[in-house]
Amino acid sequence: MKNMKRIFLLIAILCMAGCKSDEPIPDVLADFSASIQMIGNCETVTFTDLSTGNPDTWSWTFEGGSPATSTDQNPTVTYPEVGNFDVTLVASNSSKSGSNEKSDFIEVEETIVNDDMILNASQDAVFGKLVPNNNYGSAEDIHLYAWTQGGELNVNRVAISFDLGLIPEGAVLDSAFLSLYYNPTSIYSGVSPNGHSGENSFVVENLSEEWDASVVTWNTQPDATSETQIVVPDSDDPEQDYVNINVSDLIDLVDANSFHGFLLKHQLEEAYKVTFLASSEHPDESLRPTLNVYYHFTEVCL
């Protein structure tokens, strides 16, 4: 009798073991989140897998992203271009998979970079009416002048240029400021009055043609356009520096190659007036002319 009970018990155990069904493989529900959804171009987003169903493989597609696809569980993606972009995830386990596409999930706007650059004069020169064939491209003076010499009126003008090609390509101009400095060591200050003198307001105009400081003279001075003209008022101090003259209207970064520099001349070229300015050849570098250009551009991913 006892043996029969043992046999029935053994049969029951074997039946339970043999009849036990396999655990079902769960459905996969693909889902994910992003570390940020609104970004600037060239910024990165980290995606986190939130799928259920124990997936062990992942296939991502990133419209507009770099990389455009990934098999990582939690990938990081860079977006170089502006726009709204879809993200798709297919998550899978051993026999099942699920897909989730989120339209316009990532919104990318322009990343605006603001910057400025201080340019030193690439060349400058002064030239005089009474010595029309003389070149002074290596002088430390670029003095504006209207004074009689031997009964005749002599007039000086100045050409000065800056290399706008140093500004990043594609930059958009915000503003530009020219700074000119009094020359305390001018060799002419003993001949003319010491320091700026007279009603010496001067104008800044765009030069419209190429020129070379090493050869330019009064007779060969480059043409200038007076359509847009910046007027700098009379000095109020004999040793005045002219800092941050707003020349924004004279600068075009879209076509930097067309920029040939500025012409400086007294507003009224009549005796008696002088404006002593230091050139790019001045031994004191802090007195040399500068152009401070403020600009912005859309960041380009490297």
pLDDT, position 24:
81
Prediction pTM value: 0.77
Cβ contacts of 136 within 8 Å, gap of 6 or more: 125, 126, 127, 128
Structure tokens at 90: 């297919």
Phi first, then psi: what are they for 251, rounded to 5°?
Answer: -115, 135
What is residue 14's predicted lDDT score, i.e. its pLDDT?
45
Q: What are the structural domains, with CATH classification, of the chain? A: 23-110 (2.60.40.10), 115-298 (2.60.120)
pLDDT along the chain (302 residues), means of 10: 50 47 81 97 97 97 98 98 97 95 97 95 97 96 94 96 94 97 88 84 97 98 94 96 98 91 97 96 97 93 78
Contact 86, 107 (CB under 8 A): no
Per-residue model confidence (pLDDT) at position 255: 87
CA–CA separation, 205 vs 104, rounded Å?
50
Task: Work out the burial of residue 302: count CB atoms within 10 Å of its CB; fewer than 13 is exposed, 13-18 middle, 19 or more buried.
Answer: exposed
**pLDDT at site 302:** 75
List of residues 6+ apart from 283 with CB closer than 8 A: 140, 185
The set of residues, in sequence order, having a beta carbon less than 8 Å from that of 21 and lying 6+ positions away, is none
Q: Residue 294 phi/psi, 5° resolution?
A: -105, 135
pLDDT in the model for residue 191: 61
Question: What angle (nearest 5°) sits at the alpha carbon of residue 241, between those of residues 240 and 244?
Answer: 135
